């Protein structure tokens, strides 16, 4: 699907055609996004907001138009609810500082899950250390899905926030976010959804989810690196303090007191990445030109085919096989005597054949420790991948296994 729009896919790796299956780490960029970055620096580069000259006004308009595109993509009620950040990790850190400093006290509780990326673990650990709060973890069932019954038991009158990945970056499992949000809200607890792996692969509607916060990155959805989004319901953002100071987030500054800007600028200290936002807007345009539903259908079919091919190999173990997934599949390879072939070795031999996958703990060490392995091999699909890519990957994997057994 539109493979020709991505110039990097014409590159060769070690003399082989590139088969890129590392989309959960980052996606490749269509020519329209690459052109947008060049256009911005070539034709209208200027700092945004408050500039009376033409270039500044053009840059401001394009930056704010991109914000509106993001709001429309996730069905936010207003662009005021869209805060531009440096990425998902930055978004979570901003939320942990703002929400945490204002509303979390000694003995209060934050709940995350066993499936989380480090970016949705460490900021909450740091908050709990600062505030002497308690971090609780939703456990996994044997089938590697979240134990929702146990989650119910973790909620208490001291719980202040639940922060959970919509889609596991390791396993690709789609978590039941609507149920998690509903259960938390029944207890008066706010919910942050880590959408880094869901917004690129699913139709995410924040009003339908009813989540209080959603975080995601541009670079995982065919946009540029260095740009992310923190969505928050307006009623939450209005009452939370800014996490960083200086630049755009001020209304008035004196040595005695500083007052803060209106939403969303209250949370956007310093010069924003207006070139990145413009390029992200172009990535959203590109996605919508194909049709998000068509992309979802295409990727779902590819992921099902990929998993079926992997499951058919007797010496391959696919984690959470048969569960609802979005984009990513993790597996390991074993020798005939049952010993694990290290995922790094598998990844190196795949790379020599032009196939790009991710190996290691995927920034999710607690989950990998739970699986009792040194890491996994993760293959993840994007809109430009094809059935031929999957066939070439499987052929390369079989060859790698023969060499490593």
pLDDT at 1 over 80: no
Q: How confident is the model at residue 342 (pLDDT cuts 50, 70, 90)?
A: very high
* Measured distance CA(99)–CA(77) in Å, rounded: 21
Give me the residue spans of the domains in the chain: 32-289, 291-404
Residue pointed to by tokens 């002497």: 132
Q: What are phi and psi of 48, to 5 degrees?
A: -90, 160
* Measured distance CA(333)–CA(54) in Å, rounded: 59
What's the confidence (pLDDT) of residue 347?
A: 98
**pTM (predicted TM-score):** 0.96
For the chain, the average pLDDT equals 97
Task: Give how far Cα 291 sits from Cα of 93, 202, 297, Å.
Answer: 32, 12, 10
* Measured distance CA(34)–CA(5) in Å, rounded: 11
- State pLDDT tens for residues 93-124: 999 999 999 999 999 999 999 999 999 999 99
- State pLDDT tens for residues 156-184: 999 999 999 999 999 999 999 999 999 99
Please enumerate in sequence order all residues whose Cβ is within 8 A of that of 189, keeping only pairs 6 or more positions apart, or say none.
Answer: 111, 155, 159, 160, 161, 162
Q: Do domains 32-289 and 291-404 have the same CATH topology?
A: no
* Measured distance CA(202)–CA(180) in Å, rounded: 17
State percent of the chain over pLDDT 70: 100
Q: What are phi and psi of 289, to 5 degrees?
A: -70, -30
What's the confidence (pLDDT) of residue 247?
A: 87
C-beta neighbour count of 347 within 10 angstroms: 21
Q: How confident is the model at residue 4 (pLDDT cuts 50, 70, 90)?
A: confident
Q: Looking at the structure, give the CATH architecture of the domain made up of residues 291-404.
A: Alpha-Beta Complex (3.90)
Q: Looking at the structure, give the CATH architecture of the domain made up of residues 32-289.
A: 3-Layer(aba) Sandwich (3.40)
Q: Which two tokens stand for residue 189?
A: 């607890």
C-beta neighbour count of 17 within 10 angstroms: 15
* Measured distance CA(180)–CA(162) in Å, rounded: 9
What's the confidence (pLDDT) of residue 312?
A: 97
The residues that are catalytic are: 363
Q: What are phi and psi of 374, to 5 degrees?
A: -75, -15
DSSP-assigned states of every residue in 45-61: ----SS--SHHHHHHHH
What's the confidence (pLDDT) of residue 324?
A: 93
Please enumerate in sequence order all residues whose Cβ is within 8 A of that of 399, keeping only pairs 6 or more positions apart, or say none.
Answer: 349, 353
CA 49 to chain centre: 28
Is 388 in contact with 190 (CB distance < 8 Å)? no
- State pLDDT tens for residues 274-283: 999 999 999 9
pLDDT at 50 over 90: no
Mean pLDDT computed over 307-314: 97
């Amino acid at each position: 699907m539109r493979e020709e729009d991505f110039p990097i896919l014409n590159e060769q790796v070690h003399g082989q055609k590139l088969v890129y299956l590392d989309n959960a780490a980052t996606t490749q960029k269509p020519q329209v996004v690459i052109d947008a970055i060049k256009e911005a620096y070539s034709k209208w580069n200027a700092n945004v907001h408050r500039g009376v000259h033409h270039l500044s006004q053009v840059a401001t308009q394009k930056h704010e138009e991109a914000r509106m595109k993001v709001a429309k993509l996730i069905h936010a009620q207003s662009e005021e609810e869209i805060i531009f950040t440096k990425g998902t990790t930055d978004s979570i850190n901003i939320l942990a500082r703002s929400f945490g400093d204002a509303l979390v006290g000694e003995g209060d509780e934050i709940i995350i899950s066993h499936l989380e990326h480090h970016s949705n673990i460490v900021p909450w650990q740091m908050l709990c250390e600062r505030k002497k709060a308690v971090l609780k973890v939703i456990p996994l069932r044997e089938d590697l899905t979240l134990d929702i019954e146990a989650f119910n038991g973790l909620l208490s009158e001291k719980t202040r926030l639940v922060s959970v990945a919509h889609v596991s970056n390791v396993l690709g499992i789609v978590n039941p976010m609507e149920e998690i949000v509903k259960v938390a809200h029944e207890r008066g607890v706010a919910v942050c959804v880590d959408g880094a792996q869901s917004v690129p692969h699913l139709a995410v509607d924040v009003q339908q989810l009813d989540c209080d916060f959603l975080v995601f990155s541009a670079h995982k959805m065919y946009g540029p690196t260095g740009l992310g989004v923190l969505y928050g319901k307006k009623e939450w953002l209005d009452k939370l303090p800014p996490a960083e100071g200086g630049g755009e987030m001020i209304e008035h500054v004196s040595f005695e007191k500083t007052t803060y800007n209106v939403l969303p600028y209250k949370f956007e200290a310093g010069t924003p990445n207006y070139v990145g936002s413009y390029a992200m807007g172009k990535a959203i345009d590109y996605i919508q030109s194909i049709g998000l539903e068509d992309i979802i259908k295409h990727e779902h079919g590819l992921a099902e085919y990929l998993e079926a091919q992997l499951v058919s190999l007797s010496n391959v173990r696919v984690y959470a096989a048969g569960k609802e997934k979005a984009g990513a599949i993790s597996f390991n390879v074993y020798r005939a005597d049952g010993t694990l072939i290290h995922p790094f070795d598998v990844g190196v031999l795949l790379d020599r054949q032009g196939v790009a996958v991710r190996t290691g703990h995927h920034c999710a060490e607690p989950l990998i420790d739970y699986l009792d392995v040194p890491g996994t091999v993760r293959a993840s699909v994007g809109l430009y991948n094809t059935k031929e890519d999957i066939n070439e990957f499987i052929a390369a994997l079989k060859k790698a296994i023969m060499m490593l057994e």
